[in-house]
């Protein structure tokens, strides 16, 4: 019987929480504590979501009396509301409880109209895991939880396949193609320098506003230097990261961006914004290049700097590998999760 029930979205769901739980699943703590993944939600039609939730509740109620700890992953308000019943049942059975908070925006969660849901959840659990020091400050400013809040970073991927590919003159973006991630800023910034670098292109790996992106690239006359791959995984994702020479995520809000962690895993030099957990480790010009969200001209300059300067590109790529193998190493993160389970 499991000692830890991990309550999270389905392994078939796209997104950061699924990636994180899959990484935790590879750790020794998963085996040691006989962790069981209770899959509460899956992308798709409403009926499918209801079926997943009902099935998860049945499995959860059956296993709950035998476990020691309930580890709940949640993010935005719909996710938080869905987990209330799971927490109440855990407390009814007097289990130790953890909430793992993956939100990307404090305005829509702990400072938004649903803040009472988060206060209710956070004050009842034994431990709240957040993804950065900044998020720890946000949560404590809102709810005064003190040492109950602990920072545990998301881990870098270890799903790097053995195949080799030649590097291309490509700047890669990975993630949902939407306004929050700043994909339009990336297209606009690249358009400012594209005529000077006709052999370079920007590549978008992700679903979302793909047609809007294509239309914007046509309007700015860089459609021949703009590629949309759609959602990629497995071999296709591996190929996209290995062929890229630079990675960029021009996001406006994050928890700790999994796409940047993936880029570090592949040793790509990163250009990004100082949002979410990035400021915890960012050293502009040393381990990444930074610019303010929405500053298209600053992003264009960072593109040029990374394209022109082989030394800084290689130096930052080396720092990416260092981050992936130390602070954000999957084994390191999983040991921290295991230690938390042990103390509880």
How confident is the model over 20-47, as pLDDT tens digits? 999 999 999 999 999 999 999 887 788 8
Distance separating alpha carbons of residues 99 and 128, to the nearest angstrom? 5
Distance separating alpha carbons of residues 316 and 305, to the nearest angstrom? 12
pLDDT in tens, 74-117: 999 999 999 999 999 999 999 999 999 999 899 999 999 999 99
Average pLDDT of the segment spanning 324-331: 95
Superfamily of domain 170-325: Glycogen Phosphorylase B; (3.40.50.2000)
pLDDT in tens, 168-209: 999 999 999 999 999 999 999 999 999 999 999 999 999 999
Superfamily of domain 4-155+329-343: Glycogen Phosphorylase B; (3.40.50.2000)
Structure letter (DSSP) for residue 244: -
* pLDDT, position 68: 97
157 pLDDT more than 80: no
Q: Where are the domains of the chain?
A: 4-155+329-343, 170-325
β 270-272/246-249 pair status: parallel
The long-range contacts involving 274-277, CB below 8 angstroms and separated by at least 24 positions, are: 275/251, 276/104, 276/131, 276/132, 276/134, 276/135, 276/251, 277/131, 277/132, 277/133, 277/134, 277/135, 277/153, 277/154
What mean pLDDT value characterizes the chain?
A: 95
The β-bridge partners of 37 are 6
**Would 4-155+329-343 and 170-325 be classified into the same CATH topology?**
yes
């Amino acid at each position: 019987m499991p000692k830890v029930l991990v309550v999270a979205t389905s392994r078939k769901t796209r997104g950061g929480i699924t990636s994180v739980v899959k990484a935790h699943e590879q750790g020794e703590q998963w085996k040691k504590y006989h962790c069981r993944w209770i899959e509460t939600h899956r992308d798709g039609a409403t009926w499918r979501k209801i079926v997943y939730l009902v099935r998860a509740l049945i499995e959860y109620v059956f296993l709950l009396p035998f476990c020691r700890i309930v580890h709940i992953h949640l993010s935005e308000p719909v996710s938080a509301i869905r987990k209330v019943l799971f927490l109440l049942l855990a407390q009814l059975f007097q289990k130790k409880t953890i909430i793992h908070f993956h939100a990307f925006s404090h305005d829509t969660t702990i400072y938004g109209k649903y803040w009472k849901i988060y206060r209710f959840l956070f004050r009842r659990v034994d431990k709240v895991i957040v993804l950065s020091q900044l998020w720890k400050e946000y949560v404590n400013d809102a709810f005064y939880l003190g040492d109950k809040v602990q920072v545990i970073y998301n881990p870098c991927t270890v799903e790097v396949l053995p195949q080799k590919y030649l590097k291309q003159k490509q700047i890669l973006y990975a993630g949902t193609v939407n306004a929050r991630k700043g994909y339009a800023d990336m297209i606009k910034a690249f358009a400012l320098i594209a005529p000077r670098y006709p052999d370079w292109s920007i590549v978008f790996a992700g679903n979302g506003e793909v047609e809007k992106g294509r239309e914007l690239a046509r309007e700015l006359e860089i459609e021949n230097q703009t590629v949309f791959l759609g959602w990629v995984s497995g071999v296709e994702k591996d190929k996209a990261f290995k062929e890229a020479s630079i990675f960029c995520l021009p996001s406006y809000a994050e928890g700790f961006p999994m796409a940047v962690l993936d880029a570090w895993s592949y040793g790509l030099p990163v250009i990004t914004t100082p949002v979410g957990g990035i400021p915890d480790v960012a050293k502009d010009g040393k381990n990444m290049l930074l610019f303010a969200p929405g500053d298209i001209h600053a992003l264009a300059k960072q593109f040029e700097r990374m394209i022109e300067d082989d030394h800084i590109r290689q130096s930052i790529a080396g720092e990416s590998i260092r981050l992936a193998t130390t602070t954000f190493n999957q084994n390191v993160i999983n040991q921290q999760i295991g230690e938390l389970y042990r103390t509880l």
